[in-house]
Amino acid sequence: MRQIPLGYVATYGDVASLAQLPGHARLVGYALHALPEYSDVPWQRVINAQGKLSLGRAYPGGDLHQRHLLEAEGIVFDANGNIDLKRFRWQP
């Protein structure tokens, strides 16, 4: 995840593949759930394949925090609160 450049995002599936675990997107999500808040890992750059934030499922309202962090990095959200993957998805 630390490979994700500032200003870009990656999906859970992408991170799983990068970790040589294709098809194990759920484990990535589970791993993030276990991350401490003070971690230096840019967990906010990982979103689901629909271009939406999934943090809301674990911490109600927490997606607002994530959105703020991403906006501070230059990510733009559309009117529906989604991210345009065609434009911001990190493609190595």
Q: Under the criterion CB under 7 A, does residue 42 sit at the interface with DNA?
A: no
Residues 69-88 that bind DNA (CB under 7 A): none
As a three-state string, the secondary structure of 12-63 is: HHHHHHHCCCCCCHHHHHHHHHCCCCCCCCCHHHEECCCCCCCHHHHCCCHH
Number of residues that bind DNA (CB under 7 A): 25
Stretch that binds DNA, among 1-9, 48-56, 67-75 (CB under 7 A): 48-56
Q: Of the candidates 30, 64, 81, 87, which one interacts with DNA according to CB under 7 A?
A: 30
What is the sign of the dihedral through the CA atoms of 83, 85, 87 and 89? positive
- Contact residues for DNA (CB under 7 A)? 11-13, 23-30, 32-35, 43, 48-50, 54-55, 57-58, 62, 66
